[in-house]
Amino acid sequence: MTATMRPTPIIALDVPTTEQALALVGELGGSCRFYKIGNELFTNVGPEVVRRVRASGADVFLDLKLHDIPNTVAGGVRAAAAMGARLVTVHATGGLAMLRAAVEAGGTGCGVLAVTVLTSLTSDEIARSWGRGRGPVEVGDEVLRLAELAAEAGAHGIVCSGREARAVRERFGDRLTVLVPGVRAAGGAVQDQARVVTPSEASAAGATYVVVGRMVTGAPDRLAAMAAVNSELG
């Protein structure tokens, strides 16, 4: 497997207002310099929150999981890049033409990450919704199949669970960065996720980025929780 550096932690700003998001960014300060803005926050307040987080000196991962015809997705990625987003997600199942259009629109400043299989999905659910027969499917095979599309399109990387990250690294090396969501503390509640890992497990599997949410944002002492994540990542 290709040697990898310590993963970059990204804290999820899963809050409804700009004020709450900026309060978290300010509280964590220099302990975290990369933040995820997803559908809840972006739909509530729009592009301004991206610009304000960027103005604080932090980077933004805009997790919108775009999935549409190539021209429409290209327009969305182009807008994300203009806002200052460093990373943006699209669904790999949108197909090769859509992925290529997204990559071209992102240019050199905004890396496109192709979402493979959501961490909330089980193998039975994939079989049912993706038409893979009546029995369970091998999730890792689906992730690698979609990662191949992402690599062919020239994507910056892919999104997959920590359980599949090692196989992606072994297959693609440095051709694809790997972002791992669904990161939880050992023994912590998994909430609505089906395939979760700890920060150290994500790091050992070769993740480039790890997205951490309630493990930090829901902690009584967020700075201490962030320090623990940074320590666990190495």
**Which residue numbers are catalytic?**
65
Q: Which of 141, 149, 38 is nearest to 92 (CA)?
A: 149
CA 80/CA 105 separation, integer angstroms: 9
Classify residue 127 by burial, with Cβ atoms within 10 Å: 0-12, 13-18, 19+: middle
Helix and strand totals (H; E) in the chain: 11, 8
If you ran DSSP here, which 8-state letter would residue 86 be given?
A: S
The single residue listed with the structure tokens 């400043």 is 109
Using alpha carbons only, what angle is made at residue 208 by residues 89 and 80, rounded to the nearest 5 degrees? 25
Alpha helices in the chain (DSSP H): 18-28, 39-45, 48-55, 70-83, 96-106, 123-130, 139-153, 162-172, 199-204, 214-217, 222-232
